Each structure stands twice: as structure tokens, then as C-alpha cells.
Amino acid sequence: MKRPESEEFPEYYKSYIDLVENANIIKEMNNQVMDIQALISEIPEDKENYAYAEGKWTIKEILGHIIDSERIFAYRAMRFARRDKTALPGYDENMFAANANFKKQSLYSLAHEFAIVREANLTLFKTFDEETFDLIGNANGKDVSVRAILYMIVGHATHHMNVIKTRYLLD
């Protein structure tokens, strides 16, 4: 599948899309499940609720945020793939994280939930053809293609896993 063109997504998602390296995005999406579970398995229990600075999310909250965001992105992609022209609202990721009780869940249960959500989304995206990936919808006041959303999902998860590696596990 071709990479999304710059007119297919808002500029602020470029950094996520640029993190997608594999030419086979579905394969990368699938492999990412194992990569994330491997990273999560290395996190010591005393770091699960650790935040590297005041006002920053814990590792559990980051993983929960990845799950929430993936659900929202996939919902948008499904709506656009079904040719629904309804403009979809944005969401406040900080409000979601503050009201999700991620700290009360085990890191294992969050990793398991991520794998389930990702499997469902892989199944969805595998049903789309090239014409479907070209479809454009409006989310949060910006036009975005189904293809770009797929890349955003993978790049978003990569971004946050990189943050965990560099800000949470290196000290």
C-alpha cells in the first residue's frame, strides 16, 4: 500500500506517519502487538505507575491512551470507509486518561486489552481495498483519509512506546 500523501491528513499527524517504516503497513500493525507486549514484559512492577515528571502520564496511562486512541481512530476509519460524510468530533485525551482508572488495572490486563483491540482493528483494515483507503472524511475539523488513519494508528503507538523507552526506562 502506498504511504499517505500530505493532503490526506492534518500536518500535526506527520510525525506519527513518519515513524511507520515498513512498506507493508498491515504487517507492521500486526508485528507491533508483539513488540509492545515484549516492551511491557520488561517493565518492572515498581515502574508501572511511574510518571517521569509532574503532570505526565504513568506507563499504564500511556498504554491506556494508546488503546483509547486506537479505538477512536479505527471508529473514524470505519465511518469513512462506509462513506459516512458526517463530520466527527475530536476528543480530549487528557480527560479520557483522567477518567479511565488505568492505574487500577494491571499492566498485563492493559497489554491484553491492547492485543484484543489491535486484532479487531487488523481484521477491519484487512477488509478495505485501495478505493476504500482513498476515502476522505472529516474528524476534529480536519480532512483525513482511511489510509492515513491506519498509518496514524501505527505511528501513534510507536511514538508512545519510544517515549516509554526513553523517558521511563532509561534511568
Determine, yes or no, domain membership for 22: yes
Provide the number of structural domains found in the chain: 1
Q: What pLDDT shows up at residue 111?
A: 95
Which ranges constitute the DSSP H helices of 42-145?
59-81, 93-98, 107-126, 130-133
Tens digit of each residue's pLDDT (9 = 90 or more) over 82-116: 999 999 999 999 999 999 999 999 999 999 999 99
Average pLDDT rounded to a whole number, residues 135-142: 98
- pTM of the entire predicted model: 0.95
Mean pLDDT value of segment 148-165: 97
Strands 142-145 and 136-139: antiparallel
Return the pLDDT at 169.
87
Indicate the DSSP class of residue 165: I
Residue range 53-66: mean pLDDT, rounded: 96
Q: Largest Cα–Cα distance of the chain, in whole Å?
A: 48
Structural domain harbouring 114:
6-168
pLDDT of residue 22: 80
24 in a structural domain: yes
Is 38 part of any domain?
yes
Mean pLDDT, residues 40-47: 92
pLDDT, residue 112, reads 95
The mean-pLDDT minimum among 49-53, 62-66, 82-86, 136-140 falls in: 49-53
Q: Is the pLDDT of residue 171 over 70?
A: no
Residue 1 lies in a domain: no
- Does residue 26 lie in a domain region? yes
Instruction: Report the alpha-carbon distance of residue 121 to residue 161 in Å, rounded.
Output: 19
- % residues pLDDT > 70 (the chain): 99
CATH number at residue 10: 1.20.120.450
Give residue 133's pLDDT.
Answer: 98
